[in-house]
Amino acid sequence: MTLSDFIKTRIFILFFIGYPLISNAQTTTIPLDFRQHNLVKYNRSLLNPAFSFIDSEHQQVSVWSRFQWTSLELPPTSVFANYTRRIGENNGIGIGVFQHDFGIFTANGLLLNYSRVFNLSRETHLTIGINVIPIQRSIDRNNFSVEEFNMLPESVRADAYIVRAMPGINFRTKNFNIGIVSENLFDYNFTQSDTDTSFDDKILLIHAGYDFRLESSYDFLDDAKFRIGAYAKTIPTVDNQLGGNLFLDTKIGWAQAGYNSFYGPSFGLGAKLFDALAIGGLVEFENDIDNIDVGPTFEVVATWEFKPNNGNSRRRRAFAGPVKKKKEKIIPPKKTILPPPVDNSEKETLTEEAFKAKNKEGERYSILNETEDIEPGFYLVVNVYETQKYFNAFLEKLTREGLNPQYFFNKENNYYYVYLKRYNNLSEIEAARDSNYNGKYTDEAWILWVKKPSKD
């Protein structure tokens, strides 16, 4: 059997999954494409390393598996397990392991991730990230006779030890984002003591998306997110890929639909269970590839999010008081931002003693006398800052999460009070607190009563 016949019968699959075998007397190059175009919810740091910060409000452990073209004798499969979290207010990290089986080849590797956000303004953010990926690439000898194996080039038969750097960048302003990433911009093959790919063999991805926040009378759709996305990807020696996806993310689960010019249309569903576990699946329907039936592709994802311990659906822990950071010079705002007028049609008779008596573990009530720049009422406070730097960072964080935080500056104690909303009566603000601000904010929140001074 000639090498040509061997490639046609045993490595046929490589020509259709982006791992072409380019062979001559000296070198063999097999670009590694992760085939991660359907990742719209979890494990997106595999799509762009910047997403380890953008998508990791809470710590996550996630496993993603892809079983491609299941009618083939040696279908390509991918398994990726990943842990991501934020460090501080501006950094994201991740670590993952993966195995890719593609025809006669297997790639096992480690993924080390770092990302950092730069806040250009309250609603504009630039995030950069990098994945460093050590890989061991080998060939499965069990699929060959001795004759077949000896016909392969030496560079294919030997195991390869490679390190790749995958840099990415994402720019976001309000609800629009655009990013660019290269899966193998820098690489080095330690086995061959040379770069693993030439400049012409680099994989490049450009993606963009726009998010819509939904409001609905149906509880599961209220505050849901709907995203429209599009991307273009260049992979060496194969046609460029163009695609797009639609993604609906709700409190109880998600739905997605997409199309890739090479892999075909796809549809997926997922469910969120126990406020921490998410499980989803996707099917991708084959495109016509030279009239060969390669079969559908299936993907499965399971994720555990380490959210705060919210007893009774919200964190039952007393707020410790003002956050004191390293002192810096504070320049009070020239003009305090006040909320719009609130309907004062509902009146309450409330004494200071009765208000203070409501204090108990996990529920903080506090009183502040009215000043010239602070309007009387009940404020759902989420943090207090002495340092302007951390105050600004917290406002930007809440804005990125889709909230509309407000604040006032108290000249009496030089603290910035960050709050979600001002209410005119106690019953309304307690209902908002107990519902986690309608499910939008699950961390500590306490009630501050800015009280008019009693008249003597």
pLDDT 10s digits, 375-430: 889 999 999 988 777 888 888 888 888 888 999 988 888 888 999 999 988 888 98
Q: Are residues 330 and 245 part of one domain?
A: no
Using DSSP, state whether 37 is helix, strand or coil: coil
Host domain of residue 109: 3-307
From 307, 340, 371, the end of a domain falls on: 307
Chain Cα centroid distance, residue 190: 32
Distance CA 150, CA 142 (A): 13
Q: How confident is the model at residue 23 (pLDDT cuts 50, 70, 90)?
A: very low
Pairing of strands 124-139, 160-173: antiparallel
Q: Is residue 372 a part of any domain in this protein?
A: yes
Residue 80 inside a domain? The answer is yes
| Final residue belonging to a domain, choices 282, 307, 332 | 307
Q: What percent of the chain has pLDDT over 70?
A: 81
Nearest partner of 355 among 429, 434, 443, 419, judged by Cα = 429
What does the block give as tokens for 270? 């997922």
- The answer as to whether 66 is a domain residue is yes
Q: For 232-262, what is each residue's pLDDT tens digit?
A: 999 887 889 999 999 999 989 999 999 999 9
In 289-340, which ranges are E strands?
Answer: 297-306
DSSP 313: G
Query: Which of 275, 307, 339 marks a domain boundary?
Result: 307
Residue pLDDT, tens place only, 151-197: 777 767 788 999 999 999 999 998 899 999 999 999 999 998 999 88
**Does one domain contain both 343 and 296?**
no
| CA 443 – CA 309 distance, rounded (Å) | 9
Q: What are the residues whose beta carbons fall under 8 Å from the beta carbon of 2, sequence distance 6 or more?
A: none
Residue 172 CA: distances (Å) to CA of 74, 76, 120, 433: 41, 34, 10, 30
Residue 380, CB-side half-sphere exposure with 13 Å CA sphere? 28
Tokens 């200071």 label which residue? 352
- Band the pLDDT of 331: cuts 50, 70, 90: very low
- Domain assignment present for residue 31? The answer is yes
Q: Is residue 456 part of a domain?
A: no
